Amino acid sequence: MQLLTAILLSALRTAGLVVSITVLVFFLVRVIPGDVVDLLSAEGGLDAAMQEEMRQELGLQQSRPAQLGNWAANAVHGDFGDSLRFHKPVGGMVCQALPTTIILSSLSFAYGLFLGCAVAVLAVLWPKSFFPKAVETLNAWSVAMPTFCAGLLGILVVVLWLEWMPMLGNMFLAVVVLGTDVAGQIAKPLYEDLKETATSKFIMTAKAKGLGKTRVILFHLLPNSLSVILALSGIILGGLVGGTITLEVLFGLPGIGKLALDGVLGRDYPLVQAVILLLAVAVVCINWFTDIIAKLIDPRLRSH
Amino acid sequence: MQSTLLATINAFGGRLFRRPPSGSARRARLPGGLTVTAGIILAASCLVALAGSLLMPYDPMEQMLLDTNQGISAAHWLGTDNLGRDVLSRLIFGTRISLLAGTGGLLFALILGGGLGLLASALGGVFEYLAYGFIDLLRTMPGILLALTLVVSLGSGFLSVTFALGLVFAPVFARIARAVYQREMSSEYFTYSLINGASRLWILRRHVLPNVLGAFVTQAGIILPRCIVTESVLSFLGVGMSPETPTWGRMIAVSSRYLEQNPVSVIAPVLALSLLTLSIAVLSNNLRRNTDVLRRNAAEA
């Protein structure tokens, strides 16, 4: 019961957050100097009358609160408006771009999670091997090598020098680059937590019972660190939601990040609003799910 | 004379120069090779940023259209880019931008996030609710997208990039402020101060602030590299500083189109960026380990 109330309360708060973000973004994109008509006329040379007509048609001459009202009323019905530049429904454009981003981020996350956990566990299992060093190296790599730099180095070596694969639309390389970054973010904190837990008494008990080292680590140590893995996953997934943008630009993948960048640069208000709303909802849901799962697997958290 | 000098040194660098207590396993910890290297790189970067125009062999904006995309040579140590601009000079200019924008963003995040967080926790009530609502709002927007939209709305340039970085990283400090405040609030001296009639703001300044500063400094060491990287990402996406400013991100973006003909002009800023961020991370990691007294004592025991 208590758990249920907590979940409902956080759902309410979450909904409030999403609504505030939508409103904030709505006004933020409209503060951008110059609207789409200005940009188009700078490119194509529209005269004053045509500009006026275009603004009328796009509803840009209305007051901002009125525009917000219209937009919100339509958005509730699932209609996010037409792109000001491409004259296509924004919803369709987002749906087209969504699979690319989902595949990219989920594959990189899965690969990174697996690599990070594996290296951290092996480092605890064999402290004298090269695995503890590998944890440090992975961590240093993800701190010091931004994904767009790593992506460029990858292109240089794999595409241009070794000529193994093409550059454009190269999902494989993007996943490797992004996933290695994720692994670095997971491996170090997990390793530290595992090492710290390894000194606690229930581990000593397990060892004293005569259980094997592998068994102790996999079935006693690792479950205790599940909440750390979960918390890290939440943060990393939230970061991935926006973090795919540079790789999408670099590898020419037609995903959400690319769409958002084009929208912001082209003053395409409906496009930006839809994308940011979507991403904010994604982040909020990720946080919400990790919260709930954390409470489910760790009874100590439920009272808070 | 000499003893005064030694006493002064001891006061500042105490742990380095004090003799270990006899019979104990404790020893003065000398900085390792990695730390020294990181320190040298960071110091050199700061020096290069400060003395920038003295060290630049060419004007970083000057185009020499007859010598475009040249490799390494005696005249141009790191070659030239697609418009014949000297890569080394641009790299030096970019060092200044990276360090300035990074520290500027960090300071802004610290003041906004930390200050707002502490004040809100001390004042409580509606103010706390609103302030942390705002912080949550910032935290929920994907960082890069928030920065991107902000910079485009405010117009590109140094100030708007710094402002955007500050807003993106402010939540980190706000959460630390809240955690430390709540920890201190449950301590006994806090209660006694309240009973003595001290106002919450006075307790904040007198008792909580000294406690939170350490945590802020530690976190700042983690956030600074991220600020520097985020600035480069913004410039790489073409929305950072004004387009003609030579920043590392901009250099990487422009030269990446000529990656095959001229890899040096991409590799040079990439290396500079990762060396700078790595050295800051190594130093801050070291600082954290050495100042965390509880853990250090546990490790040495």
**% residues pLDDT > 90 (chain B):** 24
Summarize the confidence of residues B188-205 as an average pLDDT: 86
What is the pLDDT, as a whole number, of residue B25?
46
CB A278 within 8 A of CB A94: yes
Judge: A242–B143 Cβ closer than 8 Å, yes or no.
Answer: yes
Of A21, A144, A280, the CB nearest to B277: A144
With a cut of 0.90, is the ipTM above it? no
For residue range B161-175, list pLDDT tens digits in order: 999 999 999 999 998
Residue B296 pLDDT class (50, 70, 90 cuts): low
Nearest CA distance, B6 vs chain A (angstrom): 37
Chain A residues with beta carbon closer than 8 angstroms to that of B150: 28
Chain B residues with beta carbon closer than 8 angstroms to that of A31: 153-154
What is the pLDDT, as a whole number, of residue B293?
57
Q: What are phi and psi of B245, to 5 degrees?
A: -70, 130
Task: Name the token pair of A252.
Answer: 């020419």
Q: With a threshold of 0.90, does the pTM exceed it? A: no
Judge: B152–A241 Cβ closer than 8 Å, yes or no.
Answer: no
Residue B114 pLDDT class (50, 70, 90 cuts): very high
Chain A residues with beta carbon closer than 8 angstroms to that of B273: 146, 149
Task: Name the token pair of A290.
Answer: 């990790």
What is the pLDDT, as a whole number, of residue A34?
67
Judge: A148–B252 Cβ closer than 8 Å, yes or no.
Answer: yes
Q: List per-residue pLDDT tens for chain A, 304 residues long.
A: 677 887 788 778 878 888 888 888 788 777 766 677 777 776 666 677 777 777 776 777 777 777 777 777 777 777 777 777 777 888 888 888 889 999 999 999 999 999 999 999 999 888 888 999 999 899 988 888 888 888 888 888 887 777 777 766 678 888 999 999 999 999 999 999 998 888 888 888 888 888 888 888 888 888 888 888 888 898 888 888 767 888 888 888 888 888 888 888 887 878 888 888 888 888 888 888 888 888 888 777 666 4
Higher pLDDT, A157 or B105: B105
The most confident of the ranges A14-23, A97-106, B185-194, B279-288 is: A97-106
Nearest CA distance, B203 vs chain A (angstrom): 26
CB A27 within 8 A of CB B153: no
CB B242 within 8 A of CB B157: yes
- Cα distances (Å, whole numbers) of residue A199 to A185, A193, A195, A223, B116: 23, 10, 7, 15, 38
Of A24, A156, A260, the CB nearest to B145: A260
Residue B301 has pLDDT above 50, yes or no: no
Cα angle A78-A39-A73, degrees, rounded to a multiple of 5 = 20
The most confident of the ranges B102-111, B126-135, B211-220 is: B102-111
For residue range B117-141, list pLDDT tens digits in order: 999 988 888 888 889 888 988 888 8
Q: What are phi and psi of A89, to 5 degrees?
A: -60, 135
Cβ-Cβ pairs closer than 8 A, A with B, add up to 112
Judge: B142–A246 Cβ closer than 8 Å, yes or no.
Answer: no
Task: Name the token pair of A65.
Answer: 């609160």
Higher pLDDT, B193 or B297: B193
